[in-house]
Structure 1
Amino acid sequence: MSNAPHPTALTVHQATRVLEIAFSDGRSFKIPFELMRVYSPSAEVQGHGPGQEVLQTGKRHVGISGVAPVGNYGIQPTFDDGHESGIFTWETLYKLGSQQEALWAQYEERLQAAGVDRDAPMAPKAASGCASH
């Protein structure tokens, strides 16, 4: 994917809680930290396979306390809620930026289907392998 857009500028805006990123194709995006946290590519959020995603709630005011570069292909933000295992590739950030409206709508649908509010605290983590429903 060498022809994929690569970032030309990246700024973390703490006050407004957005990651501003400009790409080589001329597009730039302001990605809310909450959207990044909710769609983190980590196993903690995405699970280990289809249907194992963990719905994230209570992330409206999440901050980013640090950002580490990962090779020449992405970043690894440290969120102030302790989450730090997600590696965001440039491709992932481009998708989050360019598809924000659809991703927000999908998130709202998932919240509604689960019967929870966006600001609800996260449920305690269930023990691994425990599927009691």
Structure 2
Amino acid sequence: MTMGAVVVRRMHAAAQTPRLKKLELHPPRSVEVEFANGSSFHLSAEFLRVHSPAADSKIRSISGEKVIFGRRHVGVMSAESVGNYGIRILFDDLHKTGIFTWDYLHHLGSNKFSLMRTYIRTLRKHGLSRDPQRRK
């Protein structure tokens, strides 16, 4: 085996998501995930809803940029297993089409501060709010 193959193999192993140890719903506000490497994340319902990996009719497309807004108070109602690789979360705005894989949950948890900062900047840029629109 060449030195290059060893380096590539190590890089691939390091890039793999650690095995999920625990997933716990804390309805309506959050989901807690813990991985075998000791990393653990509390992910808010708003954060998960905004970063749902599904297309949604409630997304506003602005200049080709998909923006979900008004979800500050959204809640998690339930979740169901999808195979042995993820969950489908039902939110109280009835969104339920996104499948959150263990890899994606780890990515969200590992990057939640930068992702949330980017999300808030995007809302500001387009004059939108995290708060729901008032009904008339």
Q: TM-score, normalised by structure 2?
A: 0.77
**2:21 paired residue number:** 8
Higher helix share: 2
Taking the aligned partners of 1:86 and 1:120, their CA distance within structure 2 comes to: 21
Structure 1: any 5+ residue segments left out of the alignment? 123-133
Higher strand share: 2
**2:74 paired residue number:** 62
| One-letter identity of the residue aligned with 1:9 | K
**1:99 paired residue number:** 111
Taking the aligned partners of 1:121 and 1:33, their CA distance within structure 2 comes to: 18
Percent identical among aligned pairs is 39
| One-letter identity of the residue aligned with 1:118 | R
Counterpart of 2:97 (choices 44, 68, 85) is: 85
**1:109 paired residue number:** 121
Root mean square deviation of aligned Cα: 2.2
What's the secondary structure of 1:22's corresponding residue?
strand
**1:129 paired residue number:** none
Q: Return structure 1 stretches of 4+ with deviation > 4 angstroms.
A: none
Q: CA deviation at 1:6?
A: 2.0
The verdict on how the C-alpha distance between 1:52 and 1:70 changes in structure 2, with shifts beyond 3 A counting, is farther
**1:131 paired residue number:** none
Per-residue CA distance 1:1-45 (angstroms, 9 max, x = gap): 884212101111125x11111001110000011000001000227
Which has more radius of gyration?
2
